[in-house]
């Protein structure tokens, strides 16, 4: 573990919020020369106080009656029962549901389902409670009895009211218990409570900017929001799953286990167990993590709990993905190269100069991106005819693709609504969407018009294609599955295909898909004749909102510039009035109305970062075709646009894996897209936070993750960017991106950053086959690509909160320097107490003299990131290059780190690097002993590249001869007795037909 993070830096972050609050947390902009600006108060809602902060709030556990179970029926794999209110309804935060159905189902040996939903549900209120499987599939139930084989036991009681326990049978540990609490179930409020053990270790419940381990005084709100990367707040994603790891001390005599809440004795023996709990619910939710346990609340839906036995993080992750959310999409090989973007690339010439400069400074560049600068007045699928004309784009992209490089444009979730009184403002993309009934509605059936970057906009309806509505005589919507659907997906696919015919992009970046709107309600209704309009805030770089913030410590290294920026910041701030004011706006609270729901202002106020649910978002009463409400599906909007885009790209590239990076996501979005960390800040604190954010996304089944390297908001500096460029080189998705008006931060801007970037990129690109193989295993099995130390070393409780180091796959340990001005970093070498061997990547020496859990001070001068290889691994490598294509065409190498027993294993996955369903693949197994290394390929993919080099670390005996398949290879090897390293070079001629086209054995003695 490295030195504790200076969380006090968060105070500095908060001090900057006043500056950047006027910036919407998006990667986009709007025209500044419009004749009308949306009023600032258009994005202000009711003055809502979250229930968890409300001194007048009533605790449901005190006043609600709970339920009693009856009519219990044993089934093949569990039981069913009726649950009936045990007393007078409390109707506290909704209208209590009198009769519920309980379903308990052992769905698999390692998975138990507990479901509670209303007994009586009609077509008119189905989606109030039921999450359609067409949107979020349910894990499949077992066809044969599984309960007897499970390590999970379900037990229930009616004393004093209905409650249940889930226990791990093998050790008697109660994993989940509602004993002594009341189940609360209303039309707009659900609550259940479970006790947890002392000093519990919980992970997940995203998306949030927080340390990896969730502390026990935290409220986790799950509600997709365009709010920037605010610490501890709800941001873009919605992942209602937690992992619970418990450490037990093992009695060395009896083997008995004792729960160890404060396991600090490094000489003791520990064993951990991890289980997972997934609540399949898409409504706004809140999870209160408190010292004694957890309270889970939701604004609707059902209790749809899935308990995953584990007993390891790896087992839970794999089962969760395979059964519930789907395995992550495999990515094309080129997507693991370096990506460069910014908000502010003004034209094709500017873009070409950036590409040229990367080549000039010999820094790898795989993909160049454009933010909404390229758009015609910030409208999707339409280029600026002056700065980004189509003919200029064709020339630029032809040259780019000739160099084996790639291009990604941004696509926002909102669609511009043209001015009906201005013929020159025509926007056929909108017109075609109207023909297809593609956009969200108001409750009265009219089009919902919000406001985003281009002005007043409409929003594609991704739920309507699933349902249709049948008006009754009373004009009540009756929900049915829509077999044909509205034309939203058809229209979206057509627009993406049409745009590709003009601009030959290689993937798509989806933004603003929470879904974001810069006003409350349908503010554009009746106002389209004002279009195009300016957002209700100043953009970064506009007068009065210059980007003048810098990283912590900048005043120490750049005192003059920091002082100037500070003075300008002070001048920008509005002077505070000396007049005292005693007026305050009262909080807005609602109470339940019998027979109806208040979707805009539900009686229970979750701790939403924006307060009112309609602020900076499409309003909850926006209506989908079919009559369903945004209130019930809000957090699925981002998921569904990723789904639609994935299938649209299959029409553009029928045989290739779609490449999509999206902002808002839901459980299961990883099977469609990767995710970037959103609008972070150029601060050291946020470089640290990128690590736990990435690790959490690993738990969520989204391994293709990366942060805006060097920071998005504010100005970065040389030192922060150097460190961050090196850190991000070990994330699956590697992109540098920053805001409009900020200083340029391409790595070649500073010579020190260029040097640091080249050094880290050489490692990344050499590791490309290892990274690709590791990611393939994530795609195929659900294993994680980026890993917390505690996951691979589960019996070391001192690693439970470690999130300043991480593993890339099972073989590579990264220990970045995350503190301004530091030249060393503290880190642990996990597993050494049990014999694990670690080798320094750079000098290939074994780390010695380290004890279990010991913090070791490691040299980390600027430009150097400590990297280590775990003994017991064979790591495939290729030669670094400026593009992934160059790497792919280079000779192979193998880096072998023997473990303490003198053995190592590894694997290599090969295919064409792009096909959705490859017609040829090869898997190579590697196995090493103290005297040999064997490669055993199987499959039909042919790679023509020779094997050039093999390095064996950790040999304990001198080497006198080296043979390949029994034939002496001559003097093309050296043995370093001081390092115990065998280096074999010049194997190219001996493997000229391809390194993996036949089995071979390299031996030495």
Mean pLDDT of 89-111: 98
**Helical residues (DSSP H) of 621-683, grouped into ranges:** 630-633, 637-652
851 located within any domain:
yes
950 located within any domain:
yes
More confident residue, 338 or 12: 338
What's the domain count of the chain?
1
More confident residue, 477 or 113: 113
Q: What is the pTM of this model?
A: 0.94
What positions carry a catalytic annotation? 511, 514, 679
Give the Cα-Cα-Cα angle 143, 149, 155 (nearest 5 degrees). 95
977 located within any domain:
yes
* Confidence band for 13, pLDDT divided at 50, 70 and 90: very low
- For residue 923, give the H/E element and its range: strand 922-928
pLDDT digits (tens, 9 = 90+) for 582-610: 467 899 999 999 999 999 999 999 999 99
User: For residues 378 and 294, what is the distance between their CA atoms, to the nearest angstrom?
Assistant: 44
* Confidence band for 559, pLDDT divided at 50, 70 and 90: confident
Output Rg (C-alpha) for the chain, integer angstroms. 29
Give the Cα-Cα-Cα angle 16, 696, 111 (nearest 5 degrees). 150
Res. 22: pLDDT tops 70: no
CATH of the domain at 926: 2.60.40.1180
- For residue 154, give the H/E element and its range: strand 152-157
User: For residues 695 and 718, what is the distance between their CA atoms, to the nearest angstrom?
Assistant: 26
Give the Cα-Cα-Cα angle 658, 660, 666 (nearest 5 degrees). 115
User: For residues 440 and 447, what is the distance between their CA atoms, to the nearest angstrom?
Assistant: 6
pLDDT digits (tens, 9 = 90+) for 693-718: 999 999 999 999 999 999 999 999 99
843 located within any domain:
yes
Picking from 527, 540, 541, 519, the residue whose alpha carbon sits closest to that of residue 414 is 519
Peptide bond into 684 cis (omega under 30): no
pLDDT digits (tens, 9 = 90+) for 447-480: 999 999 999 999 999 999 886 544 433 333 333 4
Burial 201-222 (b: 16+ CB within 10 A, else e): bbbbbbbbbbbbbbebebbbbb
Q: State the pLDDT at residue 596.
A: 95
Res. 381: pLDDT tops 60: yes
891 located within any domain:
yes
Tell me the Ramachandran region of residue 526: left when phi exceeds 0, alpha when psi lies from -120 to 50, beta otherwise.
Answer: left
Give the pairing type, strands 962-964 and 967-968.
antiparallel
User: For residues 534 and 38, what is the distance between their CA atoms, to the nearest angstrom?
Assistant: 6
764 located within any domain:
no
Res. 613: pLDDT tops 90: yes
Place of tokens 């990547």: 841
- Residue 968 three-state SS: strand
115 located within any domain:
no
Q: State the pLDDT at residue 585.
A: 83
User: How is 292-327 classified by DSSP, letter by letter?
Assistant: TEEEEEESSS-EEEEEE--SSHHHHHHHHIIIII-P
Domain assignment of residue 833, given as a range? 823-1004
Res. 23: pLDDT tops 90: no
CA–CA distance from 26 to each of 23, 239, 368, 410, 677 (Å)? Answer: 8, 21, 19, 11, 12
DSSP E strands in 498-541: the ranges are: 508-511
Q: State the pLDDT at residue 477.
A: 34
Mean pLDDT, rounded, of the chain:
93
Res. 792: pLDDT tops 50: yes
Mean pLDDT of 202-224: 97
């Amino acid at each position: 573990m490295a030195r504790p993070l200076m969380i006090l830096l968060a105070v500095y972050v908060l001090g900057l919020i006043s500056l950047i609050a006027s910036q919407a947390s998006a990667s986009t902009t709007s025209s500044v020369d419009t004749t009308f600006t949306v009023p600032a108060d258009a994005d202000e809602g009711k003055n809502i106080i979250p229930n968890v902060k409300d001194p007048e709030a009533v605790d449901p556990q005190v006043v609600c009656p709970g339920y009693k179970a009856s009519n219990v029926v044993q089934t093949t794999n569990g039981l069913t029962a009726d649950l009936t209110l045990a007393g007078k309804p409390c109707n506290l935060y909704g209208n209590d549901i009198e009769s519920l159905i309980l379903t308990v189902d052992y769905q698999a040996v390692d998975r138990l389902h507990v479901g509670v939903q209303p007994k009586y549900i009609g077509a008119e209120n189905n989606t109030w409670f039921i999450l359609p499987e067409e949107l979020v599939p349910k894990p499949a139930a077992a066809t044969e009895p599984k309960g007897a084989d499970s390590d999970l036991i379900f037990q229930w009681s009616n004393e004093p009211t209905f409650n249940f326990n889930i226990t791990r049978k093998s050790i008697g540990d109660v994993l989940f218990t509602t004993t002594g609490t009341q189940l609360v179930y209303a039309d707009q409020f659900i609550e259940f409570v479970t006790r947890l053990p002392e000093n519990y270790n919980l992970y997940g419940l995203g998306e949030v900017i927080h340390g990896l381990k969730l502390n026990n005084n935290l409220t986790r709100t799950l509600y997709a929001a365009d709010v920037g990367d605010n610490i501890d707040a709800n941001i873009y994603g919605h992942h209602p799953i937690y992992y619970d790891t418990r450490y037990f001390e093992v009695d060395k005599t009896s083997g008995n286990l004792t729960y160890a809440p404060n396991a600090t004795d490094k000489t003791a023996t520990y064993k951990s167990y991890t289980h997972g709990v997934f609540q399949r619910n898409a409504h706004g939710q809140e999870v209160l993590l408190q010292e004694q346990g957890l309270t889970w609340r939701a604004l609707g839906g059902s209790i749809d709990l899935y308990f995953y036995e584990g007993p390891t993080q790896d087992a839970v992750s794999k089962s969760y993905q395979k059964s519930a959310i789907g395995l992550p999409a495999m990515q094309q090989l080129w997507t693991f190269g370096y990506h460069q973007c910014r908000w502010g690339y003004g034209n094709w010439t500017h873009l070409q100069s950036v590409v040229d400069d990367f080549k000039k400074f010999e820094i790898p560049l795989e993909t160049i991106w454009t933010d909404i600068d390229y758009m015609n007045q910030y409208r999707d699928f339409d280029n600026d005819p002056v700065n980004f004309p189509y003919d200029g784009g064709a020339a630029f992209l032809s040259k780019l693709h000739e160099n084996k490089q790639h291009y990604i444009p941004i696509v926002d979730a909102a669609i511009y609504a043209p001015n009906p009184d201005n013929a020159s403002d025509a926007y056929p993309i909108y017109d075609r969407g109207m023909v297809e009934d593609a956009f969200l509605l108001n409750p009265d059936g009219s089009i919902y018009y919000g406001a985003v970057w281009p002005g007043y906009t409409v929003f594609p309806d991704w739920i309507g294609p699933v349902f249709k509505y049948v008006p009754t005589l009373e004009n009540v919507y009756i929900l049915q599955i829509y077999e044909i659907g509205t034309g939203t997906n058809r229209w979206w696919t057509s627009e993406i295909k049409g745009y590709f015919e003009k601009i030959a992009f290689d993937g798509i970046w989806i933004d603003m898909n929470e879904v974001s709107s810069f006003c409350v309600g349908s503010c554009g209704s009746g106002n389209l004749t004002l279009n195009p309009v300016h957002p209700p805030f100043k953009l970064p770089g506009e007068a009065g909102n210059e980007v003048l913030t810098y990283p912590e410590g900048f005043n120490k290294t750049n005192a003059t510039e920091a002082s100037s920026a500070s003075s300008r910041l002070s001048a920008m701030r509005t002077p505070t009035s000396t007049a005292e004011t005693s007026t305050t706006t009262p909080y807005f609270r609602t109470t339940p109305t019998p027979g109806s729901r208040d979707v805009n202002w539900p009686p229970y106020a979750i701790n939403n970062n924006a307060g009112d649910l309609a602020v900076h978002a499409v309003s909850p009463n926006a209506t989908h075709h079919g009559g369903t409400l945004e209130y019930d599906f809000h957090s699925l909007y981002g998921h569904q646009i990723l789904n639609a885009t994935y299938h649209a790209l299959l029409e553009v590239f029928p045989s290739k894996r779609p490449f999509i990076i999206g902002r808002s996501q839901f459980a299961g979005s990883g099977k469609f897209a990767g995710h970037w960390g959103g609008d972070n800040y150029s601060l050291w604190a946020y470089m640290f936070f990128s690590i736990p954010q990435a690790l959490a996304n690993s738990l969520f089944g989204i391994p293709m993750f990366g942060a805006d390297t060097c920071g998005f908001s504010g100005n970065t500096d040389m030192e922060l960017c150097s460190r961050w460029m090196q850190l991000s080189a070990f994330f699956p998705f590697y992109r540098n991106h920053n805001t409009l008006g900020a200083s340029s931060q391409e790595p070649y801007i500073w010579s020190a950053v260029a040097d640091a970037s080249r050094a880290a990129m050489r490692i990344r690109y050499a590791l490309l086959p290892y990274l690709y193989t590791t990611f393939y295993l994530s795609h195929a099995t659900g294993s994680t690509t980026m890993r917390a130390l505690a996951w691979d070393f589960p019996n070391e409780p001192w690693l439970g909160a470690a999130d300043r180091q991480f593993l890339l796959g099972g073989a590579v340990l990264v220990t970045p320097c995350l503190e301004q001005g530091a030249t060393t970093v503290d880190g642990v070498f996990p597993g050494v107490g049990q014999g694990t061997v670690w080798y320094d990547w750079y000098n290939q020496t074994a780390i010695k003299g380290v004890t279990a859990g010991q913090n070791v001070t490691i040299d980390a001068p600027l430009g150097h990131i400590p990297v280590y290889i775990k003994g017991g691994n064979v790591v495939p490598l290729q030669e670094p290059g400026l593009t992934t294509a160059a790497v792919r065409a280079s000779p192979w190498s193998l880096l072998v780190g023997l473990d303490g027993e003198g053995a190592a294993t590894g694997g290599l996955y090969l295919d064409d690097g792009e096909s959705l369903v490859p017609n040829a693949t090869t898997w190579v197994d590697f196995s090493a002993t103290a005297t040999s290394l064997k490669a055993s390929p199987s499959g039909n993919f042919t790679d023509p590249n020779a094997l050039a080099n093999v390095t064996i670390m950790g040999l304990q005996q001198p080497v006198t001869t080296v043979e390949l398949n029994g034939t002496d290879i001559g003097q093309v090897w050296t043995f370093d007795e001081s390092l115990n390293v065998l280096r074999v070079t010049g194997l190219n001629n001996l493997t000229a037909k391809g390194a993996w086209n036949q089995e071979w054995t390299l031996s030495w003695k």
